[in-house]
């Protein structure tokens, strides 16, 4: 199939914010031909969040599609990796025999996935199995904020001040904060802390590896400290950047349907889950594709 035909191979509908597009009429249960895959990749770089609607995907099909974008990561909280499929991480508030089947507090704070690793996630792909609904209203939305557009509109003096700065991103700091704030995960013991990834240092402003755009790469969920400046200044700058990223004009709010596969770019967007549905159930499964070292 020629590239031009491939562009017509699915129905793409951009959202009315600066990020996100829905994709209809594309079946991901079978391998995509190269032309269609290139068109999907181009749409991913252009829109940063793609919602593939109406899918019916086995774990194998999700893994195979995800792998076309790179190597899959295995989450450190192995108790929530799907049995037989370590590349699939469960996000859910469902209990079986009194035990959680997945992470019940994923997405509590604005964040970029696995930014606490030296080589963070490029793309996350989250598949909706159970979506909560009350009185005909879908609950448990996921929000996405564009980090490139929010960088672009910073004042030039601030952009200069941020040049070359690096920040600490900490899995353990996030874990402790969530444990004390929401109580659905155990307290972090020294032994657990040792087994989890060490803090990673990344640029505060990073360059997108494929589009070349500059993006804000500090997030409320994991970033604890900007290095080499006084602590008070670090706090002030982080607060300012967190607020900048989530300005409503750069936010897309995804309302889920069962069978959505949602794919997002963790450099170009940060995301947040809305916790408005308990005691209703929600069940999602995620794969994450490794990216490159941020620069
Ligand atoms: C994730 C995540 C948010 C949600 O899976 O990485 O942050 O809405 N999920 O479930
Ligand atoms: Mn996440």
* Tokens, residue 18: 């600066």
Task: Compute the average pLDDT of residues 15-23.
Answer: 92
| pLDDT value of residue 8 | 58
91 lines ligand 1 (CB under 6 A): yes
Query: Over the stretch 100-153, which tens digit does the pLDDT of each residue have?
Result: 999 999 999 999 999 999 999 999 999 999 999 999 999 999 999 999 999 999
For the Cβ of 273 lying below 6 angstroms from any atom of ligand 1, the answer is: yes
- Cβ of 271 closer than 6 Å to ligand 1, yes or no, is yes
pLDDT reading at 215 higher than 50: yes
The pick from 121, 142, 222 for probing ligand 1's pocket by mutation, whose C-beta has the most ligand atoms within 8 angstroms, reads 142
CATH architecture of 3-290: 4-Layer Sandwich (3.60)
Confidence of residue 2 (pLDDT cuts 50, 70, 90): very low
CB-based contact 116:168 (threshold 8 Å) = no
Give the per-residue pLDDT at 7: 52
State yes or no: pLDDT of 6 exceeds 70. Answer: no
Ligand 1 pocket residue status of 107, Cβ below 6 Å: yes
What residues pair up with 134 in beta bridges, in sequence order?
Answer: 137
pLDDT for res 18? 80
For the chain, the structural domain boundaries read 3-290
* pLDDT (tens digit per residue) in 185-203: 899 999 999 999 999 999 9
pLDDT at 183: 86
Instruction: Convert the pLDDT of each residue in 81-91 to its tens digit.
Output: 999 999 999 99
> Pocket of ligand 1, candidates 124, 132, 174, 269: which has the most ligand atoms within 8 Å of its Cβ, to mutate?
124
pLDDT higher than threshold 60 for residue 11: yes
Region 152-178: mean pLDDT is 96
User: Smallest Cα–Cα separation from 290: which of 164, 151, 122, 138?
Assistant: 122
Over its C-alpha atoms, the chain yields an Rg (Å, rounded) of 19
* 221-227 mean pLDDT: 97
CA of 139, nearest ligand number: 1
Give me the sheet containing 142-146, strands edge to edge.
251-254, 142-146, 269-273
The 10s digit of each residue's pLDDT in 23-77 is: 999 999 999 999 999 999 999 999 999 999 999 999 999 999 999 999 999 999 9
- The count of other CB atoms within 10 Å of the CB of residue 162 is 19
- What pLDDT score was predicted for residue 16? 87
CB of 124 sitting under 6 A from ligand 1: yes
In this structure, which ligand is nearest to the CA of 130?
Answer: 1
271 CA → ligand 2 middle, Å? 6
Does residue 43 line the site of ligand 1, with CB under 6 A?
no
pLDDT above 70 coverage of the chain, percent: 97
Please tell me the number of Cα atoms within 13 Å of 145 on its side-chain side. Answer: 27
Ligand nearest to the CA of 108: 1
């Amino acid at each position: 199939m020629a590239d031009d035909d491939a562009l017509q191979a699915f129905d793409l509908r951009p959202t009315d914010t600066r990020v996100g597009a829905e994709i209809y009429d594309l079946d991901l249960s079978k391998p995509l031909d190269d032309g269609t895959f290139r068109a999907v990749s181009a749409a991913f770089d252009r829109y940063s969040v793609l919602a593939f609607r109406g899918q019916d995907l086995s774990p194998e099909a999700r893994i195979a599609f995800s792998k076309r974008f790179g190597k899959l990561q295995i989450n450190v909280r192995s108790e929530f990796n799907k049995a037989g499929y370590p590349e699939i991480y469960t996000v859910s508030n469902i209990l079986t025999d009194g035990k959680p089947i997945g992470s019940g507090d994923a997405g509590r704070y604005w964040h970029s996935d696995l930014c606490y690793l030296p080589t963070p996630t490029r793309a996350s792909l989250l598949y909706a199995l159970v979506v909560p609904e009350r009185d005909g209203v879908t609950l448990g939305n996921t929000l996405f904020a564009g980090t490139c557009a929010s960088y672009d509109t910073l004042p030039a003096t601030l952009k200069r001040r941020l040049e070359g700065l690096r920040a600490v991103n900490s899995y353990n700091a996030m874990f402790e904060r969530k444990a004390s704030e929401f109580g659905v995960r155990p307290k972090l013991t020294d032994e657990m802390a040792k087994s989890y990834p060490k803090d990673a240092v990344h640029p505060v402003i990073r360059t997108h590896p494929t589009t070349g755009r500059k993006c804000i790469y500090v997030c409320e969920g994991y970033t604890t400290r900007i290095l080499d400046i006084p602590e008070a200044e670090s706090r002030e700058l982080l607060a300012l950047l967190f607020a900048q990223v989530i300005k409503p004009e750069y936010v897309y709010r995804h309302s889920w349907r069962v069978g959505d596969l949602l794919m997002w770019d963790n450099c170009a967007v940060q995301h947040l889950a809305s916790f408005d549905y308990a005691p209703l159930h929600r069940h999602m499964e995620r794969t994450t594709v490794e990216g490159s070292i941020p620069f």
